[in-house]
Amino acid sequence: MIESIIREIFDIEEILVPLEGFRKGSVLDALIERFDLIFRKEQNFLVDHSPVGYPAVEIEKIWASESERRSVIALVRINHAGEVSAQGLYLGQAMFSRNQNNFLFLLKAASEERLHLAWCTRRLKELKGTVSLFTPIWFLGSFVIGATVSLSGDPVSLGFVEETERQVAAHLDGHLARIPHDDKVTRSILQRMREEELVHGGKAESLGGATLPPFASKLMGIAALVMKETAQKF
């Protein structure tokens, strides 16, 4: 009952209009929705309910060994953590975006990343894997980072998106090289994610994203490495 009332008050499709007065409400709504999705709904996500765009394969891969399956689980866990982080990052950046078009782009990107999160969630369930114990930290930490970056102005914030997506695409390339070729579901998910991440990066560039200094890119890479190493183990 409470959930339905909240959704009637904070309906994302109604809020996403080019009016400055709706900005805070939009981000608040999106935050409530993501917390609901990440920390409650996805835990009850049923395997027989496929999210939109989920690859359909008649025959699941036969795993050569338990270690092979666990290796893929670790990779999907990392990507799940990355998609959780993307939710927080984009919403944090939207919080202080100056330009309305940029603001809407960030919320739209966060919404599209939500589908990637659903794909990773389902794949983990199919593989009998679990999400990272640090899921709340990935979300909240990324939100703080995104909000902090957005205070530097839209060009820097958009440049941050562009660099983030470039690094994510490179990271996905590495994972695709490690996924068994007969694991068609996981490979299809990662390939689709890679394509859409590049679209986000290209859009951020077209909106006026600034090129980040080398040290900033290196710091982002180090932070991503810490998350990946942690997420795959815990």
Which tokens go with 169? 């695409």
Choice between 217 and 16, residue whose per-residue pLDDT is larger = 217
Q: How much is the average pLDDT of 152-166?
A: 94
49-107 residue pLDDT tens = 567 778 876 677 888 899 999 999 999 999 999 999 998 899 888 888 888 889 889 88
Residue 53: predicted pLDDT: 79
Percent of the chain past pLDDT 70, that is, above it, reads 78
Confidence check: pLDDT of 185 > 70: yes
Q: Is the pTM of this model over 0.85?
A: no
Q: How much is the average pLDDT of 152-167?
A: 94
Confidence check: pLDDT of 6 > 50: no
- Whether 207 contacts 158, CB under 8 Å: yes
Degrees, nearest 5: CA angle 95-101-103: 10
Domains of the chain in sequence order: 2-53+64-231 (1.20.1260.10)
9-38 residue pLDDT tens = 233 333 233 334 445 556 667 667 666 655
